[in-house]
Structure formats: structure tokens, C-alpha cells
Structure 1
């Protein structure tokens, strides 16, 4: 996703099962990149982290929500 300031953002919808843990419908983080190639590298790393959090939550474990809070 590209912001109006030409900075790429990562955006993913939080599954309904996990929403009570984060109280957010979607996650949105700046990739701090204006170049599409650099953004695609950052988004892959971030996607792996988010998928790990979702997997933990689906398995019934309490995920570390630092990523959701923007840490």
C-alpha cells in the first residue's frame, strides 16, 4: 500500500479470532521505504513475523503483541 506521501505501508486484516487480543481490525505499519523493491523486502520480513503471531494465537498461546502495538 502506498501512502499519499509516497511511503509504502504494510496492511493486513486481523482474523476475528485474534481481535479480542489486539482490539484492532487491521494492522498497518510503515515500511519506511519509498522504493518498491526495498518495500517488498521489508514486507516479507514483516509478514513472517505477523504470521508467527497469528499461528501462536490460533494454537491457544498468548502471542507477544509488541508488533501489533508498533514496537
Structure 2
């Protein structure tokens, strides 16, 4: 085996290792983003439930004319 072949094998090995590290980093980032998306979906669902509850609560209240609320002489 020549020195040039040994150098090429070493370079190839280093490139493969670097690619594997980059894949691992990308996978961790993907998992973090998926977790963030899941958390945001839960928060959105809760907010929608609160809004729906508020809307339905207001729909059941009796409507009063505004002039009965006025303070006047």
C-alpha cells in the first residue's frame, strides 16, 4: 500500500465520520423541532378550548339592552 492510498483511506474515513456526526446532529435537531411542534399543538388546542368555552358561555347569557346599564338621572 502506498502512502497516497493510505492518505486517501484516512481522508475517506474522516469524511465518513464527519457525515455521521452531521447526521446525528440533524436527527437531534429534528427530534427537538418535533417536540416543539407537539408542544405548540397542545397549547393551541388548549387555547381553542378556552375560546370555545368563553364563546359558548357568552351565548347562554341573557342579552340586556345597553340602556338598562346606563347610569343616569
The reply to whether TM is greater than 0.5 is no
Higher strand residue share? 1
**Structure possessing the higher relative contact order (Cα contacts under 8 Å, 6 or more residues apart):** 1
TM band (smaller chain): 0.3 to 0.5
TM-score under structure 1 length normalisation: 0.34
Higher helix residue share? 2
Q: Could you say which structure has the larger radius of gyration? A: 2
